[in-house]
Structure 1
């Protein structure tokens, strides 16, 4: 069954984790493209400031204070969206949290908290969204990670949740397709994105955490997410560096493990620049947020890999076929 989605300017979009990083960028871009947005986060002051700023620009925005780990709070988000704008067209499960440290260092309660937010938060949002979207149609967009394709040292609980989100998203898609629900389900897999995540994560390492390069700005993730809200697509990788990091373990898993064992920890540490102390550790309580991290890191503002994935399938197939033909002709000419 072919799923048709509304243009962004005609949509009501719910975005969780909206006060910082990728979520903040998604809300800003969606509002500026004419969508009505319901911004969801735990911190009321940050949401109030966001609503005031975007409303002054003419945006259609509502906010809802909620911890996505709480199923009742997620139900309240949907009620706010319907009460304010009359419906929901797309639901973006973006909220996330994490830890840095070995599996043994991270206390079990913290393991569970990461799962409560990253997995159960996505489950809560997906189930509520699916119930509201049945019949009318729409999109559910889950923000996963390349770490759902492979694990990395020092982020075991986070990696485990993103593997779980991959399975959850695939299962949800199949169930909704089998039911003829007319709901698009997309998993967006960002690579390393310059957000406050390393500062927000609870850190058990002896040095401040950072994200390994290459980095991309949150606007790259927002571009992927909003494309998925308007165009049915199974998976989108946000950042070419992330896609390469996912492919190597599939082609040569032992080599990938060996490389990770050597460079994985130092690539995630930045001793000379711990970042803003007011942002540290938001595992259980909200902290100061922003679109980008406060550490001084270079980040790319666009992703060619993402733009290629956004091409219509027919055009993409023609492009791949054309590339294959060009390579074949080149090989024949080189043999003459």
Structure 2
């Protein structure tokens, strides 16, 4: 049996992309549970504000300002974690950048930048984490996406990058398992999540960008990440809306193509709400930061039964089993009642037939 991971309250956690969205929500949740957190991102002012906010609530937080795409960035993050709290137990790779545009309008430099941050930055961070955690029960948590399995139009580079993240993470996990390492590697695949992602992305569309429905609350992803820091899971998908993209879509690729052409067109990925001042286009440079949610106030789903079932499969199975037993019992009771009624009806009809044959049927 694999060695258990530490309780979150005893952990030291590194989080990249920690000044907005999923990264910031995770830092706040982990610190609230008692973990020491090291926030890494490009925006020093937003980092300072996040650290102060966490400390004001009694949490323990530190920060390091850098670009994860730079060579040696991961080693610098690890050195900072060692200097501030003696090392780390969980490393979360969340940093990413994106753009909305038809692929014909994406330059090679833009395409490379998406991969430099979201893929090569994650690779660098993952391998640095392995250096420190391979011999013990620590956790590496990489942020993929439901788009790792199924591309959507107008976000081609991001989808390609997340597919690379998924396959890299799977390969790394298998190699560590083959070496007998107690280290846990988890891939988190969020569905569409309400974060500043559409505001931060470079946008070449005719209107402000947005995410298509269904959209889930950012706290669900933070919850999944913090859960994975304590419990061994190979993968967690956040949001039942992503289930079809990760299972049905790969099984029926042509049908999925047509569905995504309709559901993922420009109409469903654009909005009339412009980005907040100073937030748009952080592809190459940091922009205004510090929010976990977008400024668009979309309808968001606050719960995900599918996520709960993955986190607590035995409880989910017991619940489903219990419901099945109740349904079976109800069906059995109904069946007996129906059978008795049917028997009564048959007997009644037979008796009436005999009475009529004897000339004794009631008038």
Give the structure-1-normalised TM-score. Answer: 0.94
SS of residue matched to 1:25:
helix
SS of residue matched to 1:193:
coil
Give how far 1:320 is off: 5.6
Q: 8 Å contact 1:273–1:296 — kept in the other structure?
A: no
The number of residue pairs the alignment matches comes to 334
Q: 8 Å contact 1:3–1:184 — kept in the other structure?
A: no
Write out aligned runs for 1:114-263 (5 A): 114-263=114-263
User: How far, CA to CA, are the matches of 1:85 and 1:173 in structure 2?
Assistant: 27
Q: 8 Å contact 1:99–1:201 — kept in the other structure?
A: yes
User: How far, CA to CA, are the matches of 1:194 and 1:106 in structure 2?
Assistant: 25
Write out aligned runs for 1:255-274 (5 A): 255-265=255-265, 266-270=267-271, 272-274=272-274
Q: Which runs of 5+ in 2 are unaligned?
A: 340-363
User: How far, CA to CA, are the matches of 2:238 and 2:116 in structure 1?
Assistant: 24
User: How far, CA to CA, are the matches of 1:173 and 1:317 in structure 2?
Assistant: 27
Give how far 1:224 is off: 0.5
SS of residue matched to 1:69:
coil
User: How far, CA to CA, are the matches of 2:148 and 2:331 in structure 1?
Assistant: 37
User: How far, CA to CA, are the matches of 2:53 and 2:314 in structure 1?
Assistant: 41
Partner of 2:288: 288
User: How far, CA to CA, are the matches of 1:247 and 1:154 in structure 2?
Assistant: 22
Q: 8 Å contact 1:12–1:37 — kept in the other structure?
A: yes
Q: Deviation digits for residues 187-206 of structure 1, max 9, x if unmatched?
A: 00000001010111111112
Partner of 1:61: 61
Q: Which moved more, 1:28-37 or 1:248-257?
A: 248-257
SS of residue matched to 1:192:
coil
Q: Compared with structure 1, are the counterparts of its residues 108 and 308 closer, same or farther at alpha carbon in structure 2 (3 Å cutoff)?
A: same
Q: Which runs of 5+ in 1 are unaligned?
A: none
User: How far, CA to CA, are the matches of 2:122 and 2:255 in structure 1?
Assistant: 32
User: How far, CA to CA, are the matches of 2:88 and 2:152 in structure 1?
Assistant: 36
Write out aligned runs for 1:289-328 (5 A): 289=289, 290-311=291-312, 313-318=313-318
Partner of 1:110: 110
Q: Which moved more, 1:134-143 or 1:163-172?
A: 134-143
User: How far, CA to CA, are the matches of 2:51 and 2:247 in structure 1?
Assistant: 40
User: How far, CA to CA, are the matches of 1:140 and 1:316 in structure 2?
Assistant: 26
RMSD (Å) for aligned C-alpha atoms: 1.9
Q: Compared with structure 1, are the counterparts of its residues 157 and 326 closer, same or farther at alpha carbon in structure 2 (3 Å cutoff)?
A: farther
Q: 8 Å contact 1:3–1:232 — kept in the other structure?
A: no
Partner of 2:346: none
User: How far, CA to CA, are the matches of 1:216 and 1:252 in structure 2?
Assistant: 25
Q: Deviation digits for residues 13-68 of structure 1, max 9, x if unmatched?
A: 00000000000100000000000000110000000111111112111111011211
User: How far, CA to CA, are the matches of 1:245 and 1:180 in structure 2?
Assistant: 32
User: How far, CA to CA, are the matches of 1:248 and 1:327 in structure 2?
Assistant: 28
Q: Compared with structure 1, are the counterparts of its residues 110 and 327 closer, same or farther at alpha carbon in structure 2 (3 Å cutoff)?
A: farther
Give how far 1:324 is off: 6.5
Larger Rg: 2
Q: 8 Å contact 1:19–1:46 — kept in the other structure?
A: yes
The runs of at least 4 aligned residues of structure 1 exceeding 6 Å deviation read: 323-336
